[in-house]
Amino acid sequence: EVQLVETGGGLIQPGGSLRLSCAASGFIVSSKYMSWVRQAPGKGLEWVSVIYSGSSTYYADSVKGRFTISRDISKNTLYLQMNSLRAEDTAVYYCARLTATTGFDYWGQGTLVTVSS
Amino acid sequence: EIVLTQSPGTLSLSPGERATLSCRASQSVSSSYLAWYHQKPGQAPRLLIYGASSRATGIPDRFSGSGSGTDFTLTISRLEPEDFAVYYCQQFGYSPFTFGPGTTVDVK
């Protein structure tokens, strides 16, 4: 059974850093495309980043240069390193598996990041 | 960036009624990379339709998708109580992948 479990969210001051983790089971993270999607309180979904199976990465303009997506094959885990955090980064962050032919077919339960002083 | 526009913003219907949701793209999107999701309060989104018209695993046949190019439609033939939620279209053919703003289907 495919499962994605995010951890690492919390309250952080503006300008701070946080690393989110997404532990996967039921499939191998490095063999699939993996993505982060976020949702600000009361708002819609915003795509954040993707890492392809070949390790190419892409980012939304809103996080480019501040966020880094990566994965650890030995831990079968996806990460999102978030630096220089801003109030507008406050959101629930979901990791999701992206299958090229079907879209985001599995999602985690999300982890809340709150950027506030 | 491909901008997706969804209409209406809110659809107020009764159980058993038909729902028709629209998604329009600012430029042509390959049908292969157009998906629909729904999201209930406090839950993660769930994939409903991929490839513009294929139902994801476990999705009942009252959900159907259609369209091509810049205009796509999600239809729910007869609303069940569990279908009242927010519906998002998404394109994942070009980075940045983009979602529409969502259509809320609520109880009339």
Q: Which residues of chain B does A94 touch, with a Cβ-Cβ cutoff of 8 Å?
A: 44-45
What is the full per-residue pLDDT of chain A (117 aa) written as tens digits? 999 999 999 999 999 999 999 999 999 999 999 999 999 999 999 999 999 988 899 999 999 999 999 999 999 999 999 999 999 999 999 999 999 888 999 999 999 999 999
* Interval A53-80: pLDDT, tens: 888 999 999 999 999 999 999 999 999 9
Q: Does A74 touch chain B (CB under 8 A)?
A: no
Q: Tell me, what's the pLDDT at A62?
A: 96
Which DSSP category does A94 fall into? E
Residues 6 or more apart whose Cβ sits within 8 Å of residue B25: B2, B3, B4, B5, B69, B70, B71, B72, B91
Q: Tell me, what's the pLDDT at B4?
A: 98
* Interval B46-59: pLDDT, tens: 999 999 999 999 99
Three-point CA angle B38, B21, B2, nearest 5°: 80
Query: B37 and A104 in contact by Cβ < 8 A?
Result: yes
Nearest to A6 by CA among A70, A81, A78, A74: A78
Q: Which residues of chain A does B102 touch, with a Cβ-Cβ cutoff of 8 Å?
A: 44-45
Nearest CA in chain B to A92: B44
Q: Tell me, what's the pLDDT at A54?
A: 84
Q: Tell me, what's the pLDDT at A100?
A: 83
Q: Which residues of chain A does B54 touch, with a Cβ-Cβ cutoff of 8 Å?
A: 102
* Interval B74-102: pLDDT, tens: 999 999 999 999 999 999 998 899 999 99
Q: Which of B92, B98, B103, B104 to probe the A interface (max A CBs under 10 A)?
A: B92
Side chain identity, residue A86: R
Instruction: Give chain B's end-to-end CA distance (angstroms, integer).
Output: 35
The dihedrals phi and psi of A89, each to the nearest 5 degrees, come to: -85, -5
A46 vs B32, B54, B99: nearest CB: B99
Mean pLDDT of chain B: 96
Query: B99 and A103 in contact by Cβ < 8 A?
Result: no
